[in-house]
Structure 1
Amino acid sequence: MKKILVVLLVAFIILQFFPIDKTNPAPTPGMDFLKIKNVKPEVAQLINTSCYDCHSNETKYPWYSNFAPASWFLKNHINEGRKHLNFSTFATYLPKQQVHKLDECAEMLEKKEMPLESYFVGHQDAKLTEEQRKILIDYFKKEKEETERKMVF
């Protein structure tokens, strides 16, 4: 048993020599969702608190991001989140893509698939009340409709 613990400890120490890159891409205010959509401050705060760590280039890495293998899981999660939706580069999406992304935002909130339960471990402030969830769902649906109206076919 003692040998197993020593091996696990040594393995854990060795893993720490393979840190993740915590560098965020440079901010691009002219492409950021909260800037281009002129989101009301109370809605912007909800989006920023519950979505931006994984779905923007403004990730704030928590203390546990300093320790492998948790850091690897976290980095992979952030990369996947940005791949599916990146609020920091929202203006680069074509209008049709923006409509789809906004629809997905509302749908993920309705199904309570976002924010992820695992995110709440270190981010209790990201938990949404039913009222806050409804505010975001209504906002994303309204924004989707407005974006559709502006589309040129």
Structure 2
Amino acid sequence: MSTILKPENIELNQTLSSKEEAIRYVGGILHSEGYVSEDYIDSMLEREEVTSTYMGNYVAIPHGTENAKKSVLETGLSVVTVPEGVDFGDGNIVKLLIGIAGKGDEHLEILSQIALVCSEEENIQKILDAQTKDEVISLFSEVN
């Protein structure tokens, strides 16, 4: 996880006003850090129209559509905390956004690691309470 989740990929205590803004924000990190080309962000929004990336427990995992694989330059993650929450529709409030870009099938392994961390509500709270980016990285690293 440490190679795909770096301090530059994490933003703590953000305020985002809409689902679209939230998805563009996590996608923008993936783009600015060189994991995806800019059109990947549009495919993340497309994916959200097809099926919500809200996972429960205040977590959403925005990612691109299957067709967006060509836009992935390198496997990477972005993590954004939104303590005030952002409405993902149907009353689903998201406080932890995890953007994913995976080369080939690498995203499946990443998703399973994220699922392990996020299946525990106390881990989600620890991420939301994190004061440093290193705290977030260590929480994700513990599952290896």
Greater percentage in helix = 1
Q: TM-score, normalised by structure 1?
A: 0.28
Structure of higher CA gyration radius: 1
More strand as a share of residues: 2
